[in-house]
Amino acid sequence: MKVHFWSADMAGSAWYRAVLPAMGLSWLGHHASHHIRLPQNWASYDTVVGCRVAQTDPSRMWIRLKDEGKRLILDLDDDYFHIDPSNTHARTVWDTQMLGRLAHNMGIADLVTCCSEPLAAVLRDYAPDVRVIPNGLPAQYLGRPRDYSAEGRPLYVGWAGTSSTVADLPEAVRALNRISQYPRRDGVMVRLVGIDSEQAIARGLKGKRIGALGWVERIEHYLHAVSEFDVWCAPYRATPFNGAKFPTKWLEASVLGIPLVASDTEAYRRVIRHGENGFLVRREHEWGRLLKQLVDDPGLRQRVGMAARGEASGSIMQALHHQWEAAVSVPVGVTV
């Protein structure tokens, strides 16, 4: 079977919804490719997976692919119908016309795939057949050893995000500023991945022990950067947009064996058992208390990090590629 994953860009969502699924299908013996453009010989392909196809020209091509009898799967990993008002750029891009094209393209697809059940519930208003396929990571990251003692070096409390999720960062800013000044022998550093120092300062983070790496383009460099966290902080506001998200920070932290402290939103409530495989924050003052506990106690960091890692085997691509195979397969008796 020949499958092409047609991604809208090569950002982090493309890694989870195009690059890794294509890799997983190739492990099963299929010819699977991925790119922001269709291959020149697209007519020879059986299935096209289009990631958030909504722009004008891609939408015209989507209709043509349908007319040519290709199996079409439209994949989404965010709820563009409920973009947060604070994200003015995204709200401008995803205007009424853009959302109309997206809805139409979902309607003519053979199948719509997404990363979470709450997102699927939204999308079922626009498409009759919606299937949830979670995000996953290659198993190779599970076996990497961790130094939970952090002796002889600063302890790193980390946050990772983008310009679109930085609006959630102020939920934990006070606690992050305080923990960066905590009188541990080798000190505590707050490390921010995905935003620069100017964005960090604009959100209230300040001090010599707060460092911002900026945007990391290559996913392997991103995973290397966040793997240096000793504690991972994931603040989110309780918005409809965040509620439909896949708990990606949980996936990344658990595979890497890092204890995660996350806001008690629907996405993270589904995967975290408080105090066992991570921590959930309901009120602002809890950020500081939980971060201090984890900074003070290497045994707690190890116990929670290893418990999370122990559950991460179900989130590896080797456990998910058959779900993608079932989605992209042309039903028996149907010709393309």
Enumerate the CATH 3.40.50.2000 domain ranges in the chain, comma separated: 2-136+317-328, 140-315
Are the C-beta atoms of residues 245 and 251 closer than 8 Å to each other? no
Going by C-alpha positions, the residue among 160, 166, 292, 168 that lies closest to residue 235 is 168
What is the C-alpha separation between 52 and 287, in angstroms, rounded?
Answer: 35
Rounded to the nearest 5 degrees, what angle is found at the Cα of 22, between the Cα atoms of 47 and 58?
A: 50
pLDDT tens-place values along the chain, 336 residues long? 999 999 988 777 899 999 999 999 999 999 999 999 999 999 999 999 999 999 999 999 999 999 999 999 999 999 999 998 888 888 999 999 999 999 999 999 999 999 999 999 999 999 999 999 999 998 888 878 889 999 999 999 999 998 778 999 999 999 999 999 999 989 999 999 999 999 999 999 988 899 998 888 888 899 999 999 999 999 999 999 999 999 999 999 999 999 999 999 999 999 999 999 999 999 999 999 999 999 999 999 999 999 999 988 888 888 889 999 999 997 755 555
E-state strands within 146-286: 155-160, 188-193, 210-212, 231-234, 260-263, 279-281
Closest to 170 in 3D by CA, of 262, 83, 235, 99? 235
Task: Please give the CATH number for the structural domain made up of 2-136+317-328.
Answer: 3.40.50.2000
Task: Map tokens 């959100």 to a residue.
Answer: 203
What local confidence, expressed as pLDDT, does residue 318 receive? 84
Distance of CA 48 to CAs 53, 107, 259, 321, Å? 11, 15, 38, 16
Q: What angle do CA 47, 53, 59 make, to 5 degrees?
A: 90
| Confidence (pLDDT) at 162 | 86
The CA–CA distances, whole Å, from 178 to 26, 52, 108, 148 equal: 47, 40, 52, 22
Query: What is the architecture of the domain spanning 140-315?
Result: 3-Layer(aba) Sandwich (3.40)
